[in-house]
Amino acid sequence: MLGIILTPFTLLFFLKTTTLVPVFSTIFQLAVTVVMPLGVGQCIRYMTKLNATQYPLAIIGQLALLYIIYITFCQAFLNEDMQMHAHEVLITVLLVVLILIFTTWLIFNIASKMTRTYLPEDVIAIVFCCTHKSLTLGIPILRIIYGGYSHLSTISLPLLVYHPTQIILGGLIVTYLQDWMLARQHSRTRLEA
């Protein structure tokens, strides 16, 4: 909901153009496209008591994500209206990486100070969940809100960069977070003994 309000202002600031977003129509389309399939899937799961581990659902999900990424990249580079130059793409990539690093650091520092509220494993979950953005939901949302907009490829670029960046950054910090968690658990066990 916040994105529906803030994104037009961000577009005005960075692209010197804006668009009018019909809020109620957009919320309805998002509900039908994003929320309803999730709800139907949960109902089917609940009513049929299917054991998801016996089906290759993870592979299907990964293939669907790969398909979405491929289609989005193809549409972005086939679009003749994309007016970004190489230096603008590099600046966008750099900003996305810096924003992700900063938000990860900030969330870790805030959550790790709340030792009475959160266990170390909770802090790690908070770090990864708070900074996670998904292409599988983000791209359909962008298409619904800005489907007829000529700068859709430009708007999609930060999300296309963010997704692999969060995977790479997560892989780089996982050892540090694991060592931090084990040290915290060890010191907590020592204090309780």
The C-alpha atoms of residue 89 and residue 67 are separated, in whole angstroms, by 23
96, two tokens? 């996305």
What's the burial of 29, exposed, middle or buried (CB within 10 Å: 0-12/13-18/19+)? Answer: middle
pLDDT tens across 99-157, in order? 999 999 999 999 999 988 899 999 999 999 988 877 777 777 777 777 777 777 777 88
Helices 120-130 and 86-112 sit at what angle, rounded to 10 degrees? 150
The C-alpha atoms of residue 139 and residue 158 are separated, in whole angstroms, by 11
pLDDT tens across 6-48, in order? 666 666 666 666 566 666 777 788 788 778 888 888 888 788 8
DSSP per-residue codes, 132-146: ---HHHHHHHHHHHH
- The per-residue pLDDT for 111 is 93
74, two tokens? 């193809």
The C-alpha atoms of residue 6 and residue 155 are separated, in whole angstroms, by 13
pLDDT tens across 158-188, in order? 888 888 888 889 999 999 999 999 998 888 7
Evaluate if residue 2 carries a pLDDT over 60. no
